[in-house]
Structure 1
Amino acid sequence: MSVDPGEDAPGPSEWTVPGAPVGVGPWPGGPDAWPSGDRWDPELLEHGDRRNVVDAYRYWRRDAVAADLARRAHPFHVAIENLGHDHNIGTVVRTANAFAAAGVHIVGRRRWNRRGAMVTDRYLRLHHHPDVDGLAAFAAERGLTVVAVDNTPGAVRLETAELPRECVLLFGQEGPGLSGPARELASLSVSIAQFGSTRSINAGVAAGVAMHAWVRRHADLDAAW
């Protein structure tokens, strides 16, 4: 399925410009001019689409966007331990959406702070595992290599590591990093090169750096928006 919103009808002219409201207003021309197809949301066509989505998905139903993202997803997953209500999880989810991860896995507590996700969790495949054993079973069943991202002794520099194409990038909590069982699960451990005084960088930032490293190595950049 194409993501070109002009496939069935001329596109709207009210695109977002600096200083203007986010998104687009109602589809020009009224109901008689609406595009055909089941991916379009009548409410959005009538009232406008102010969501934080790329222009290619304007006026699409949420489930249609999620289905298209699943079709276009990259073969890497992201997992993060949630042992104490880590506030970085929302940022990790939002970044995983931006880089088209195949899924996001919450390991530990089921509840997490969704504010930082900016609703992107509704477009992704989210998985919950009470412990790392559940994540291990998921990865083994699908042939995914678990890659721990943590600045622990013996870790390979992310900048020089050969990230597997089909993998799970596993992150720990802010502060303590990965738990012992999580480190033992990983087939490969990588660390991000740092040059300042801080011992570690924000878990959400680390996740973005690691996902982008995967994109640089494996993604088809011609498919990016």
Structure 2
Amino acid sequence: MPTDDEPQLEVGVGPWQGAWPEGDRWDPELLADGDRRNVVDRYRYWSMEAIVADLEPRRHPFHVAIENWQHDLNIGSIVRTANAFAASAVHIVGRRRWNRRGAMVTDRYQRIEHHEDVEGLVVWARSEGLPIVAVDNTAGSVPVDAAPLPERCVLLFGQEGPGLTEAAIEAADAHVAIRQFGSTRSINAAAAAAIVMHEWVRVHAPDVPPAPPAG
């Protein structure tokens, strides 16, 4: 870690230099003061509303659902990863309040939905014609890389430690697990979510480019 004598690196960019660009997407405060947010360069100086509007048509057709019974610290990190992979939405199942620290404010740009319980999630998923894929190393699960994940689906994750509840496992249409070769029973929930989301992208969006440069 840097000491008090070492210079602190600034994230992002400072105030806009020169004549300000014209258009609705630009945020006057960011242009004047600089943009230190955790956003890709394309979105520097854009307003939050403009970023969300630009993301909407490029979201992928998979959803992420997370059980929230213990106020798990991993939920924020999973939301951040879902934003990075342009998930259609993140669904919080259980407690409405969740720990946002790990999200690093990416929840402002990511659609977040809430369901009181697993049954509520199932009702919604069935109405949308989306199969639920449970992610946990339970009996009967298959390696996530052994067969392609559905293109349109809900990836359902459990809590750190206990994993998915019995209700979630019973409600799922498919069960997948991540191959492991060491001594630990499971890996971190946020890490598992990142692996599975990347597997979806690897299969269904291998040739999709990232966001184009700002024009």
TM-score by length of 2: 0.92
Secondary structure in 2 aligned to 1:100? coil
User: 1:54-203 to 2 correspondence within 5 Å?
Assistant: 54-203=40-189
Q: Say if 1:139 and 1:168, in contact at 8 Å, map to a contact too.
A: yes
Task: Give the Cα–Cα distance (whole angstroms) in 1 for the partners of residues 208 and 154 of structure 2.
Answer: 24
Secondary structure in 2 aligned to 1:221? coil
Unmatched runs of 5 consecutive residues or more in structure 2:
1-7
Equivalent residues, number: 204
Look up the equivalent residue of 2:84 and give its one-letter code: A
Alignment-derived partner of residue 224 in structure 1: 210
Alignment-derived partner of residue 24 in structure 2: 38
Deviations 1:47-90 (A, max 9, x none): 11010000000000011111211221000000000011111101
Secondary structure in 1 aligned to 2:90? strand
Secondary structure in 1 aligned to 2:66? strand
User: 1:2-41 to 2 correspondence within 5 Å?
Assistant: 20-29=9-18, 33-41=19-27
Look up the equivalent residue of 1:153 and give its one-letter code: A
Look up the equivalent residue of 2:118 and give its one-letter code: V
Q: Say if 1:161 and 1:190, in contact at 8 Å, map to a contact too.
A: no
Task: Give the Cα–Cα distance (whole angstroms) in 2 for the partners of residues 173 and 51 of structure 1.
Answer: 29
Task: Give the Cα–Cα distance (whole angstroms) in 2 for the partners of residues 34 and 119 of structure 1.
Answer: 26
Q: Say if 1:27 and 1:45, in contact at 8 Å, map to a contact too.
A: yes
Q: Say if 1:147 and 1:189, in contact at 8 Å, map to a contact too.
A: yes
User: Structure 1 residue 20: deviation in Å?
Assistant: 4.5
User: Structure 1 residue 222: deviation in Å?
Assistant: 3.9
TM-score by length of 1: 0.88
- Give structure 1 regions of 4+ aligned residues with deviation exceeding 3 angstroms: none
Look up the equivalent residue of 1:100 and give its one-letter code: A
Task: Give the Cα–Cα distance (whole angstroms) in 2 for the partners of residues 93 and 110 of structure 1.
Answer: 14
Matched, 1:51 2:37: yes
User: Structure 1 residue 157: deviation in Å?
Assistant: 0.7
Deviations 1:126-171 (A, max 9, x none): 0010101111122112111110000001101112122000000000
Q: Say if 1:76 and 1:166, in contact at 8 Å, map to a contact too.
A: yes
Task: Give the Cα–Cα distance (whole angstroms) in 1 for the partners of residues 209 and 127 of structure 2.
Answer: 28
